Structure 1
């Protein structure tokens, strides 16, 4: 059988691509190839709690799925139905308009081949689909209210909001402020990777039933490794299922895996672009723990109460990176009598830039890519941290701050970005603004692998918006 469409993966990118594609196209034959398996949320929670589950044998240890040649830097992901929706933390700010124009505004790296306005209608559609909670005013342009009211701020957050207004306000999030038909209200458990009350949006609880559509066939346990091409056109996708070689023919192929596997598939498929796999990375995240004198930090209604933009935009980005502040509402305890809750935690998230010394390539095992993070963090990001340390005391001058302590950089932000960047031509990128491969025109590459630069904002909402844009403009 020849399919109209073969899609790799069932995460955010593939799901929102299919949502838009199926709105526009009928009577199509679509094959979905998922590397992992379907494991219900109830079974995931059993496994998390150490309770026996028949599904446990279906889990793949992500560390076994690739070779990390710089093991001091972790690259975390989740395989199986729903992809990273099963382990994400539900943080959903939009990118800022300036994030798409680093070159033209600040003379740094490259501009994206599209603008904020190109994604704005898809941002709004996804926010509705995810029943997101968010504030009345945001730093990025919005036309309508969020579907759900904002999460509650803790006392220190309220003070900062009074001073900074929309520069410091409730985080837009897919952790439900109010129960929906399929999700419970967030209880601020700070175990968002698995969410014991099923409050965060996942592909499983989303109600976006694209995988139940009669046009769609899903194959689990299908490890895709290449596309067969002829004259720069793909005609067959190759995968291993239950230890056996299999393949499927289609008119168009959609790569919706994470950057490691999108890159691995392309490099095994005759991709000649020297940029493929180059410049992958993620943001830099560092925790600042703030001791408060006479102010308790209790009362927020979710894990990340607020986002702060005081260090985000401006001419400083000519010299160093933007920083997004995430205010964590985890139950931090200060080990001092009568000051148990007089503490708050900021996660300082800095944008970073693609560097050629950080790259993904193949191995002798066609199923397993390898990563090299030789260049590490850019000076652009590291300098921003030094500037943040200098400026944070004055930013917090309305709070009774006793001490600010900085931790080591987090091992990972859980966001693998880049490797098949988008741009205007094959000389500066791997795919175009609608995610079409420059060389092999019937391949569309989705997900964070297509990011041109690495915004300080969480990537998931933009991943989904780019996928909807691709479905809308290419079909």
Structure 2
């Protein structure tokens, strides 16, 4: 092992939006902060070039190749086997290990939970309650939105103390026609997104490239690369290609060092006073499990075998149909509008809530591939391609999954290219979620009917698409027997180890996990600063104790 002398007040593991903005907040208070990122640095120009040159334009991971020194899951053109599947239902999570993390290729959905999401056990008898309330988190939602530049409809079901930082991006024609034709049966609203509708924080307004996934070519959309850059501008030191494989601790359970491999598999040690684990909901529990010792044979923060449990996401089923007018999907953001009436209600005692999300992705690529596969060429190809490009529409549900201990991340017996045990997913979709899907099919049919829909093509029965909203594997809670960290993100049993990740979310709700986890992380950072007396920050108040 190299005799390294790197150290900092705070060592943050993971440079995605959450890790980078947590580090930024700590550095702005005057602390020395070091981020360790497993993957390499990459620029937006490189990613855009890879996307433009990719033979698989619909494969949103093609601009983000896995590297041997920090592998991540790749499924096309074949599964690289990094995330081992234990079943009974496949969980093909896609995430990126590089500076900036997976939000390089997100859709920038920045929804807040609705207040009821924090107490579904008390209100509906399902899942668990959070150890904090919506009101506890509201100012940190606002802080996150001010940083990223978020816009949305005023009637999302999530109360606000201040307006959105900006107005929504201009409504696409197809979404306008949906809004007009579905009213008053359904209220179609603009999605809440971290995407500029005007110049904001030195970045331009959205110009409608329709490639938000896998990459916004002009940075109108916020992402982790921008967050990492802002952290470095605040004084954070960021070390790429530093694949952390173990956390060391002292006799009291305090973490003393992080061990990482460089690309040549040379091991290095980094010391710190406080450690913040900010990788995603798969890599974070993996590292805790890898950090086993004589004192902690199950790994860190795992006294009650809770690390990795309660894996959640947002499964989706969908309906594709042909409208009775030309709507021409493909101009503007890919996921601009939705229906939110089924996000909350007494029905949650019986079945999963959901959002209905409309796609605005150009149909040219997918329709061309389907026609060529069917052997259609010449004049008939041109005719049918134009019809699909002009009239094809698609909507999907975004379903809640309840926290179930059987759904979990463990260590596989297989090892990756660095000789580290791979993560293994144990996953199933229960009746609560399936019943939500069944209820949503009524909405699918009604929406198609209101749009004069023909040629209805539902997704394959019993098959759920994965939305890559990994959460739950580091669940926060008041009881160490059923959770991994407290409401402030402090790992149970380790005074100087904090968790800032989508994994800490104890329930999944119906919205993408990033903004919720970022708000929780910013609250954690403020708590840490107050506890350590830095920058004169007052300890934040809470309506609930940890």
Specify if TM > 0.5: yes
Q: TM-score with structure 2 length normalisation?
A: 0.79
Aligned counterpart, 1:231: 252
Asked whether the equivalents of residues 208 and 331 of structure 2 are also in contact (C-alpha less than 8 Å), the reply is no
Instruction: Establish whether residue 258 from structure 1 lines up as the match of residue 280 from structure 2.
Output: yes
- 2:369 aligned with 1:359: no
Out of 438, 442, 461, the position equivalent to 1:390 is 442
What is the deviation of 1:309?
Answer: 1.0
Instruction: State the partner residue of 1:116.
Output: 134
CA contact (8 A) 2:105 2:212 kept: no
Question: What residue is the counterpart of 2:22 in the other structure?
Answer: 17
Q: Deviations over 1:19-42 (max 9, x none)?
A: 33234x21x322211101110010
Once the two structures are overlaid, the 10-residue window that deviates more, 259-268 or 79-88, is 259-268
Mapped partners of 2:385, 2:44: distance in 1: 38
- Give the 3 Å change call, closer, same or farther, for CA 186–319 of structure 1 in structure 2: farther
Kindly report which structure 2 residues correspond to 1:121-160, keeping only aligned pairs within 5 A, or say none: 121-151=139-169, 152-153=171-172, 154-159=175-180
Does residue 280 in structure 1 map to residue 311 in structure 2? yes
**2:533: which partner in 1?**
none
Tell me which residue corresponds to 2:433.
381
Report the counterpart of residue 395 of structure 2 in structure 1.
346
CA shift, 1:100, in A, is: 1.3
Secondary structure in 2 matching 1:194: coil
Q: Give the TM-score of the pair, scaled to structure 1.
A: 0.90
State the distance in 1 between where 2:470 and 2:321 align: 29
Task: Specify which of 194, 197, 205 is matched with residue 174 of structure 1.
Answer: 194
- Determine if contact 1:192/1:200 at 8 Å carries over to the other structure: no
Structure 2 counterpart of 1:77, from 95, 112, 134: 95
Equivalent of 1:305 in 311, 326, 336:
336
Q: Over residues 8-56 of structure 1, what are the superposed CA-to-partner deviations in whole Å (9 max), with x where a residue is unaligned?
A: 0110111221233234x21x322211101110010112222339xxx97
Name which of structure 1's ranges 424-433 and 40-49 shifts more when overlaid on structure 2.
Answer: 40-49
Distance 1:395 1:338 in 2: 20
Please tell me the root mean square deviation across aligned C-alpha atoms, in Å: 2.7
Equivalent residue, structure 2, for 1:67:
84
Distance (whole Å) between structure 2 residues aligned to residue 218 and residue 339 of structure 1:
47
Q: Where in structure 1 are there 5+ consecutive unaligned residues?
A: none
Residue 469 (str. 1) matches residue 520 (str. 2): no
The structure in which a higher percent of residues are strand is 1
Q: CA separation in 1, counterparts of 2:83 and 2:421?
A: 5
Provide the C-alpha distance between the structure 1 equivalents of 2:391 and 2:280, rounded to a whole number of angstroms: 40
Task: Answer whether contact 1:75 1:412 (CA < 8 A) is retained.
Answer: yes
Alpha-carbon distance in structure 2 between the residues aligned to 1:185 and 1:452: 34
Alignment partners' CA distance in 1, 2:176 and 2:306? 48
Shift of the 309–284 alpha-carbon distance from structure 1 to 2, 3 Å rule, reads same
Residue 87 of structure 1 deviates from its aligned partner by 1.7
Q: How many residues align?
A: 467
SS of aligned partner of 1:324: strand
Question: Matched residues in 2 for 1:203 and 1:136: separation?
Answer: 26
SS in structure 1 of the partner of residue 224 of structure 2: coil
Question: Structure 1 residue 146: deviation in Å?
Answer: 1.9
Q: Any residues of structure 2 matched to 1:319-334 within 5 Å, and which?
A: 319-332=350-363
